[in-house]
Structure 1
Amino acid sequence: MRAGSRSPRPARLLAVSGLVAAALVLSGCASDSLADQYREGSNKGFIAGDGSVTEINASARGEAIDFAGVGENGETLSSSDFTGEVLVVNFWYASCAPCRAEAADLQKLNAQFTDKGAAFLGVNVRDQAANATAFNDTYGITYPSVLDVDDGSMQLAFSGSIPPNAVPTTLVLDQQGRVAARILGQVTSPSILETLIRDTVAEGS
């Protein structure tokens, strides 16, 4: 065998090993449908959930989520700011088409529940402050968002409970700060999210 014919073989083996490792990581970290979207390489810029709703009985909920981050206006936001309230947490970013589609509905629900036992908080997973603020101006969003693009600390904080495996994902936290419900993907039926919020608020009555 010529000496020059040997060098490509290790490179090919490394490439194959890398692909296998990547496939194992994806299969272990996401549901099959989400992993399929990663592998398909559709370049749509987001991993779309299927809109499925998960509810957790109060007796089966995990620990309270402890989080802190910096908002688009430079303010510090943390779980302690929402003590005793139901908190709706929406993971989003500005160029995500489903995030834009659900924005008006989320804002309506935010206005509906203001001072009625529930608050809203966004978690922007990709944008810096200027883009997040421009999005809020365009869609009339009045609730704050934590900017999570630099360190991912918000996504990490929720990863041990019911993780936000898609963007957008909306979580409903109970008055104790535990995840009570999740909508994986776009909120296509605001009435479902409204019911989830109302039921969680009623738990504290």
Structure 2
Amino acid sequence: MDADTGTSAHLPEEFVIRELLDASDLDALEREHGAAWADSGAVLRFRHLRTAARYWLAAALGDERAALSAPIADGWEAFTSVEWGAVHMRDAVNSELKAFSMRLVEVDGHGALEPQFSVDLLQVAALQLALLAADGLNARRCANETCGRGFVRQRSTRRKTTNRGEYAGTAHAVGVRYCSAECGKAQQAREHRRRKRVEKGDSA
């Protein structure tokens, strides 16, 4: 939420290990999902947070080599141990989490009486990463042979109604093989076409 403009944006679930890692640079990320604070340190913050996200995902997948090879910001030495990678992730995430605080606020029929506080894109992404780490759920790689993305919960385009009458996407973390419903459908279609080609060859 930007307190100056009153604008806010919803980040997709697992944004920090999907869209953040897919972005070529901070400018590309901001064009699609909103802005980080316009200061001289934003690019470095982005690089450190992306390194932290890459490290966490690789470690959650049990890929120690990938965890150690997570590209780090210019001028910083590469990780020499998993423990060092964990320390870097802790420090990068905690630096962003300083923007958040837990407190009670008075609420009336028009909402919270306390002014909204401002957080930016990278701070919310860091909060996502902290929650992923705290959840303790297993990460896995998408079984779609053209994808292979690391993920925790499968994204779905199906919609459900919340108790407030709003619509929200569904997400699944147990018993899933694909990072999204679309990836699952694409792989199933690919395998179906292969079976048809084999059956056609056998009947020839």
TM-score by length of 1: 0.22
Give the structure with the higher percent strand.
Answer: 1
- Report which structure shows greater RCO (CA 8 Å, sep ≥6): 1
